[in-house]
Amino acid sequence: MATLEQVEKIREKTGVSFEEAKNALDTCGGDMLEAIILLEKQGKVNPPVGGGYYSSGNNGGAEKEKNTASGNSCERRGEGFGQLLKRFGRFCLNVIKKGNSNYFEASKDGKVIVSIPVTLLVIGLLFLFWIILPLLVIGLFFGYHYSFHGNELGRDSVNRVMYKASDAAEDIKRSFSSGK
């Protein structure tokens, strides 16, 4: 529910009537920015000087479609559970797709021993955490090096951390060997 203070601020910023400001705020669930954008789309408020993302100019219909598709309009607040579930499903499929296009590799002496999709690694860590994680740590002490390859995870910054872990394991191994 819109408060009197919010309605007055909208009126002050936009110059619309009290009723128009209140209706816009009620439609947008009290979100002042969304209410101003809605008023702009309705042609009751002029867009900012120099334009902006939201425009009530000649191509207002195209802009409205663009804004609704990107989820930036207050109409989205009324989306149902089914739509929310579809969005979550698309998000999960996107994560799985990225996980399948990136690989976790274990190598020893410069030869790749195993290369598996990141999705498989994550599933393994979720269900067999107490087995896989110790095996990965033990592998570091036996000279295995781990790295990621692919578009999202194959960056130098990610692999630099992996190489530092290998170097740290080698340092610990050397300190135990020299301590005897």
Residue 92 within a domain: no
Is the pLDDT assigned to residue 117 strictly greater than 50? yes
User: From CA 123, how far away is CA 7, in angstroms rounded?
Assistant: 51
Q: Which residues contact 133 (CB under 8 A, 6 or more apart)?
A: 125
pLDDT, tens digit (0-9, with 9 covering 90-100), for 148-177: 998 887 778 888 888 888 888 888 888 888
Which is it for strands 103-108 and 111-117: parallel, antiparallel or unpaired?
antiparallel
pLDDT at 165: 87
Structure-token match 């740590």, residue found: 137
Q: Which residues contact 70 (CB under 8 A, 6 or more apart)?
A: none
pLDDT at 76: 52
Please indicate, yes or no, whether residues 28 and 67 belong to a single structural domain of this protein.
Answer: yes
Please indicate, yes or no, whether residues 63 and 106 belong to a single structural domain of this protein.
Answer: no
- The pTM of the full predicted model, rounded to 2 decimals, is 0.50
pLDDT at 176: 84
| Cα→Cα distances 161→57, 109, 146, 148, 166, Å | 51, 19, 10, 11, 9
Please indicate, yes or no, whether residues 26 and 62 belong to a single structural domain of this protein.
Answer: yes
Is the pLDDT assigned to residue 116 strictly greater than 80? yes
**Residue 167 backbone dihedrals phi, psi, to 5 degrees:** -65, -40
Domain that holds residue 56: 4-78
- Whether 119 and 100 have beta carbons less than 8 Å apart is answered as yes
DSSP 8-state code for residue 103: E
User: From CA 162, how far away is CA 173, in angstroms rounded?
Assistant: 17
Residue 89 within a domain: no
Secondary structure class of 30 (helix, strand, coil): coil
User: From CA 114, how far away is CA 167, in angstroms rounded?
Assistant: 20
Is the pLDDT assigned to residue 32 strictly greater than 70? yes
Q: How many domains does the chain have?
A: 2
